[in-house]
Chains A and B, each alone.
Chain A
C-alpha cells in the first residue's frame, strides 16, 4: 500500500501512469467506506486534494470553472455558484463530511443519489478529463454510465468541471428527501434550472434532473417539454406532481421503495422550482 501526494496535475498523471491500480482520494468520504467494507481493493492511494489548481473556483470569459477537489463546503458557500449546486452541496452529509468531501469525489463515485449530480446536469456541465496522452471534455449527461460506473478511463483524472456563464442568468434550485433531516442520503433529489419571461412569468427555458430514481442521474426531458411555455400556476404544479413519477425508473432498496420514490418525485421538483423562484419573488405557487 502506498500513499502518493502529487502537487501538480502533471505529477498526478505521472503517478497514476506508474500505479494504474491505485485509487484517487480527496476527502475519502465515499472511498474509505468502500475500502473498509472490502468492496474496493486499490493497491495504493493517490491524494488529489493538495493540488492547488484542483481546489480553485474561477471564471474565464465563457465559463465558470470548478476544480475537481473543491469541497462541498466551498461549493455551498460560494456566491457565484448557482443555487441548484450550492443547495445540493450544502445538504451532503454533515459539516465534518462537507469540509473534506469534494465535487470530483461526488462525481466519480457516481452514486445515483449524489446530491450535486442533478445540478450538474441542469447546468450543462462539462468535465475535463486528462491523461498523459490526451485530454477530452465529456458532458455530464454522457459521463454517468451506471451506478458507480463512469466514462473515466484508467490513467485519467477529472480535473475540472465547467458550465457556461450564461447559465448564471437563470434561476436554479434543489430539493431532496431522505429518511431524516440531517446527515442523510437522498431517497430522491431534484434540481431545476429555468428562465421566465419577464412580464408573463411563462417558462422560456427549463431543465429538470433527478437523482436516486434511475441507475444514473436522470434528466426529465419529457417533463421539461411539457412545461415549456407554461406559467407555474396551481394547475401546472398539480400536473407536475401527477406525471413526474411516471418518467423515472426507480428501484426499491434499503432506503426507500420504488412506490415512494415515484410518489414524491413531483413534489420534489415543485419544491426545487420553489427554491429557484422564491428568492426573486417570482414563485406563484402560493404555499405549495
Chain B
C-alpha cells in the first residue's frame, strides 16, 4: 500500500445529502416561515403583445391584507435583467408587453390569497397589438419589431471548408427539415425566493436557484446597492435543469424590493401555472440539414440552417445559438461544414437554458438524417456512424483536435456487443417493433461561451474533518457527493467526515454559473487543487511529527502513514491540531481555470471546449398498432465520461437525463393558441410520471480527459439529446416512416398508421 490507488473516487456511494431529502427533513425555501412574512404575487399581462398604458393600484390596496403594490417605477434600479447581453428584459413591464406571462405589477399581502386577490383587483390597461407568434412572421418583411433592434436575437455562422462545393460534387445527398417543440423544465419545486431585510443595510435572499452570484449581481443592481449588501443563500433546490436563472433573478428582485419597502420578509413561491408561463422554456426549433456522402458512406459535407424560437426575451439565446451551431454537424469527421444558427424573438414565453442547451434539437435533426442517409445507402445505421465517428486526432466541426478522450468508437462498440432484445411471439400482429440508434457529442463546460473559472475552498478542522466550499450549486445532480469524494480521496479521510457547505454568496468564491455539465469537471478540479494545497500543509506538519521527509508519508483512512512502515501512523486529527497550533494553514482557496477558448468569431474555427462527452444510445421499442402506445423494451446509454467518480450518481444522471429526453421526444408539448399557453399544468402537459420511466442501462467508456479531475468529464446534459434522437429513430424503424417533428406522440403514431403513411403495419381496416 502506498496510498496511490483510488479508494473513494470511483466507489458506489450514496448521495451525501440523500437521506435528508428522501425523508423530508431537508427544508426548501417555501418551508421557511418568518415572523411578519408577506407573500408576493405578480399580476401578469395575460395577453401576448400590447402597450401598457397604466396600472391603477387603488382597488388592490383596498383588498384586506394587501400591504403594498409595486409597479416598474417603484423599482430603485434600472429594471433590467438578463443572464448575458443584450440584457433586454424588464423585471416589471414598462411600455411594451412582449409575452402573456410578463409581470406588470407585484402585490404583497399578509397571505398568499390576499396577494392573489389584490393582483386580480388591479386596474391594468393594455392596448392590444397583434402578436407575432411564429418565427416566419417575425422574420417576414416589414414585421413589427418586438425589440428596438429587430426580431433577430442573435445569429452566427460556422464555416469549415467549402460545403456548397462538396455537396454539389457528392455522389449521395439527403436533405430534410426537422422541427422541435418548446419544453418545460418541470422540476418538482417551482421557483421560490424569500427576501429578508437584515436591519443592517443588508438583505438576504434565500433562493431556489442555480447560480446565486447571478442573483446577487442583478438584485443589487436593480436595488441600486453595492453587491456586497446582498447575500444570496441557495436553499435546497428541487431541480433546475437550467430553469432557475432568469426567473429566480426576477422574483428575487421583486421580493427584495418589496422587503426593503415594507421592512418585512417577502416570499414569492410560484405555482405550477406561473412556473410554466412565466419562466424560460427550451427553444422550439426548425432545422434544415443537407448531407453529402460517398457511396461508401463517408460523409463529405453538411450544410445546416437552424432557426430557434426564443420567445419574448434573449435570456440565454445567444449561447444556445452557439451551442447548436457548434454541435449541429454531429460527432463525425466531416471536411466541409456550413452552419447558420439564428434565434428569433416572438411574442411567446421566452426560451433559455434547459439541460442540453440547443444540443437536443440539433442532435435529433442530425441523427434522423444519419438514418435517412443509411437507408439511402442501404447501410446499417450503426455502421454508417462508425465509419464517420470522430477518433482521437480528428478535427471536429470547429477544427479542434483532441488527441485523447474521444471515446465515441468505444461507445458504439459497446452497443454492438449487446444483443438486441428478442421479439415475443405475437399471434395477433397487434404490435410493431423497432430499434433506433443515436450518436452525439456535448461540449463540457462554458468553453467559448464565457469565462471558465471555479474557486473552491477546503478547510480542515482540528478534528481532521473537512469543509468544502465553492460557488457551484447542488441541484439534485449529485455534485456535492462528487466534491466530497474528491476531498476525501485527496486528504485520505473517510467520506463521512467531509461536508460540502451550502452556497451563500458571503462565504464562497464566485464560481460562475452551475451549467454546461461543468460541475464535476471544472468544479471538481478546483476542489482537488484546494484539497491538495491543504494536504501539502498537513504533510509538512506530519513530516515534522514523524521526523521524516514528507515524500515518505501518505494519508489514508484518517491517518498520516509512513510508507516504509505502515504501522507508524498518526491520526490526522492530531496532525491537524498540531498544524493549528504551529500556524500551518488549514484552509486554502484554489482555482481551476479551463484553457481559454481561441477561435475565429466569423467561422467558429478553433478551440471551443476543454472536452466533449461522446455518447451512443440504442433504444428498442414496441408500438401498439391500435393505440399508438409505445413501450420501451430496452434503452442502452453508453457515454465516454472520462472517469466515473460515483457510479451511482452517474447512473442517476443518465437515467434522469434520458427520461427528460424521452418526455421531450414523445410526450411533452406546450399547447399554445394566440400566444396563450393552454396546458400550463401537469394534468394536461404530459411530463413523464414515475410509471413512464424507461429501462435505461448506463454503459461506461472511460477515456481520460486531461482537463478534469482523475480524467473525469461531465455527463449531466448529454443523455437528453441522445435519448430523444434514438427514440425518434426507433419509431421510424418500427413504422417505416420518418417523423421530422418532436414530439412524436401516440396520436402522431396512430395517425401515421391509419393514413397509410407508415409502410410497416399500416391499419388495413383503419
Interface residues of B in 668-722 (CB under 8 A from A): 671, 678-679, 682-684, 686-692
Chain B residues whose CB sits within 8 angstroms of the CB of A263 once the complex forms: 750, 754, 766
Contact A286 B691 (CB under 8 A): no
Contact A242 B765 (CB under 8 A): yes
Bound-complex Cα distance A256 to B748 (A) = 11
Known: A254-B671, A254-B679, A260-B747. A180 touches B765 (CB 8 A): no
Contact B689 A183 (CB under 8 A): yes
Chain A residues whose CB sits within 8 angstroms of the CB of B691 once the complex forms: 180-183
Interface extent on B, as a size class? 20 to 34
Contact A182 B690 (CB under 8 A): yes
Query: Is A288 at the interface (CB under 8 A from chain B)?
Result: yes
Bound-complex Cα distance A112 to B125 (A) = 38
Segment at the interface with A among B183-191, B422-430, B477-485: B422-430
Closest 7 CB pairs of A and B: A182-B691, A182-B689, A179-B686, A267-B626, A287-B428, A181-B691, A288-B428
Query: Is B633 at the interface (CB under 8 A from chain A)?
Result: no
Residue of B nearest to A263 (CB): B750
Query: Is B751 at the interface (CB under 8 A from chain A)?
Result: yes
Query: Is B667 at the interface (CB under 8 A from chain A)?
Result: yes
List 19 other contacts, CB 8 Å, given A180-B691, A260-B628.
Answer: A38-B120, A177-B627, A180-B667, A181-B692, A183-B682, A183-B689, A185-B683, A185-B684, A238-B765, A242-B765, A254-B684, A255-B684, A259-B751, A260-B746, A263-B750, A268-B627, A270-B626, A287-B428, A288-B428
Residue of A nearest to B745 (CB): A179
Bound-complex Cα distance A13 to B751 (A) = 51
Chain A residues whose CB sits within 8 angstroms of the CB of B427 once the complex forms: 286-287
* A/B interface sample: 6 pairs, CB < 8 A: A38-B120, A182-B690, A264-B627, A264-B628, A267-B624, A287-B427
Query: Is A257 at the interface (CB under 8 A from chain B)?
Result: yes
**Which residue of B120, B430, B686 is within 8 Å of A287 (Cβ)?**
B430
* Closest-CB distance, A262 to chain B (whole angstroms): 10
* Closest-CB distance, A42 to chain B (whole angstroms): 14
Contact A264 B671 (CB under 8 A): no
Query: Is B73 at the interface (CB under 8 A from chain A)?
Result: no
Contact B754 A180 (CB under 8 A): no
* Closest-CB distance, A271 to chain B (whole angstroms): 9
Over the window 33-76 of chain A, the binary record of Cβ atoms lying under 8 Å from chain B Cβ atoms (1 yes, 0 no) is 00000100000000000000000000000000000000000000
Residue of B nearest to A264 (CB): B627
Chain A residues whose CB sits within 8 angstroms of the CB of B750 once the complex forms: 260, 263-264
Chain A residues whose CB sits within 8 angstroms of the CB of B628 once the complex forms: 260, 264
Contact B428 A180 (CB under 8 A): no
Contact B626 A241 (CB under 8 A): yes
Bound-complex Cα distance A254 to B673 (A) = 11
Number of interface residues of A (CB under 8 A): 31
Over the window 181-193 of chain A, the binary record of Cβ atoms lying under 8 Å from chain B Cβ atoms (1 yes, 0 no) is 1111100000000
Interface residues of A in 157-190 (CB under 8 A from B): 177-185
Contact B679 A181 (CB under 8 A): no
Chain A interface residues (CB < 8 Å from chain B): 38, 94, 177-185, 234, 238, 241-242, 254-257, 259-260, 263-264, 266-268, 270, 285-288
Among B626, B629, B687: residue with most chain A CB under 10 A: B626
Bound-complex Cα distance A121 to B690 (A) = 31
Q: DSSP majority for the A interface? A: loop
Contact B689 A181 (CB under 8 A): yes
**Which residue of A177, A242, A254 is within 8 Å of B629 (Cβ)?**
A177
Bound-complex Cα distance A38 to B120 (A) = 11
Chain B interface residues (CB < 8 Å from chain A): 120, 426-428, 430, 624, 626-629, 667, 671, 678-679, 682-684, 686-692, 745-747, 750-751, 754, 765-766
Bound-complex Cα distance A32 to B161 (A) = 61
Bound-complex Cα distance A182 to B687 (A) = 10
Contact A286 B627 (CB under 8 A): no
Chain B residues whose CB sits within 8 angstroms of the CB of A260 once the complex forms: 628, 746-747, 750-751
Contact A179 B751 (CB under 8 A): no
* Closest-CB distance, B313 to chain A (whole angstroms): 26
Chain A residues whose CB sits within 8 angstroms of the CB of B667 once the complex forms: 179-180
Bound-complex Cα distance A288 to B628 (A) = 15
Chain B residues whose CB sits within 8 angstroms of the CB of A238 once the complex forms: 765
* Closest-CB distance, B107 to chain A (whole angstroms): 16
Chain B residues whose CB sits within 8 angstroms of the CB of A266 once the complex forms: 626
Residue of B nearest to A256 (CB): B747
Chain B residues whose CB sits within 8 angstroms of the CB of A287 once the complex forms: 426-428, 430
Chain A residues whose CB sits within 8 angstroms of the CB of B626 once the complex forms: 241, 264, 266-267, 270
Bound-complex Cα distance A259 to B753 (A) = 13
Chain B residues whose CB sits within 8 angstroms of the CB of A241 once the complex forms: 626, 765
Bound-complex Cα distance A188 to B428 (A) = 23
Chain A residues whose CB sits within 8 angstroms of the CB of B692 once the complex forms: 180-182
Chain B residues whose CB sits within 8 angstroms of the CB of A38 once the complex forms: 120
Contact B671 A286 (CB under 8 A): no
Chain B residues whose CB sits within 8 angstroms of the CB of A285 once the complex forms: 428
Chain B residues whose CB sits within 8 angstroms of the CB of A178 once the complex forms: 686
Chain B residues whose CB sits within 8 angstroms of the CB of A242 once the complex forms: 765
* Closest-CB distance, B164 to chain A (whole angstroms): 42
Residue of B nearest to A234 (CB): B428
* Closest-CB distance, B223 to chain A (whole angstroms): 32
* Closest-CB distance, B480 to chain A (whole angstroms): 29
Residue of B nearest to A188 (CB): B627
Contact A286 B688 (CB under 8 A): no
Bound-complex Cα distance A183 to B678 (A) = 19
Residue of A nearest to B425 (CB): A287
* Closest-CB distance, A69 to chain B (whole angstroms): 23
Bound-complex Cα distance A234 to B765 (A) = 13
* Closest-CB distance, A188 to chain B (whole angstroms): 9
* Closest-CB distance, A125 to chain B (whole angstroms): 26
Contact B428 A286 (CB under 8 A): yes
Chain B residues whose CB sits within 8 angstroms of the CB of A182 once the complex forms: 689-692
Bound-complex Cα distance A73 to B207 (A) = 37
Bound-complex Cα distance A119 to B447 (A) = 59
* Closest-CB distance, A147 to chain B (whole angstroms): 16
**Which residue of B627, B686, B690, B745 is within 8 Å of A267 (Cβ)?**
B627
Among A178, A180, A257, A260: residue with most chain B CB under 10 A: A180
Bound-complex Cα distance A86 to B692 (A) = 22
Contact B689 A184 (CB under 8 A): yes
Bound-complex Cα distance A178 to B692 (A) = 12
* Closest-CB distance, B518 to chain A (whole angstroms): 32
Residue of A nearest to B753 (CB): A263
* Closest-CB distance, B761 to chain A (whole angstroms): 14
**Which residue of B678, B682, B746 is within 8 Å of A254 (Cβ)?**
B678
Chain A residues whose CB sits within 8 angstroms of the CB of B426 once the complex forms: 287
* Closest-CB distance, B483 to chain A (whole angstroms): 34
Residue of B nearest to A238 (CB): B765
Bound-complex Cα distance A254 to B629 (A) = 18
Chain B residues whose CB sits within 8 angstroms of the CB of A268 once the complex forms: 627
Chain A residues whose CB sits within 8 angstroms of the CB of B754 once the complex forms: 263
Bound-complex Cα distance A94 to B754 (A) = 33
Contact A288 B430 (CB under 8 A): yes
Contact B684 A180 (CB under 8 A): no
Bound-complex Cα distance A182 to B427 (A) = 28
Chain B residues whose CB sits within 8 angstroms of the CB of A256 once the complex forms: 747
* Closest-CB distance, B39 to chain A (whole angstroms): 15
Bound-complex Cα distance A288 to B430 (A) = 7
Among A183, A257, A285: residue with most chain B CB under 10 A: A183
Chain B residues whose CB sits within 8 angstroms of the CB of A286 once the complex forms: 427-428
* Closest-CB distance, A56 to chain B (whole angstroms): 31
Bound-complex Cα distance A286 to B690 (A) = 30
* Closest-CB distance, B431 to chain A (whole angstroms): 8
* Closest-CB distance, B283 to chain A (whole angstroms): 22
Bound-complex Cα distance A257 to B745 (A) = 12
Known: A179-B686, A181-B689. A257 touches B678 (CB 8 A): no
Chain A residues whose CB sits within 8 angstroms of the CB of B751 once the complex forms: 259-260
Chain A residues whose CB sits within 8 angstroms of the CB of B689 once the complex forms: 94, 180-184
Among B627, B629, B686, B751: residue with most chain A CB under 10 A: B627
Bound-complex Cα distance A263 to B625 (A) = 11
Chain B residues whose CB sits within 8 angstroms of the CB of A255 once the complex forms: 684
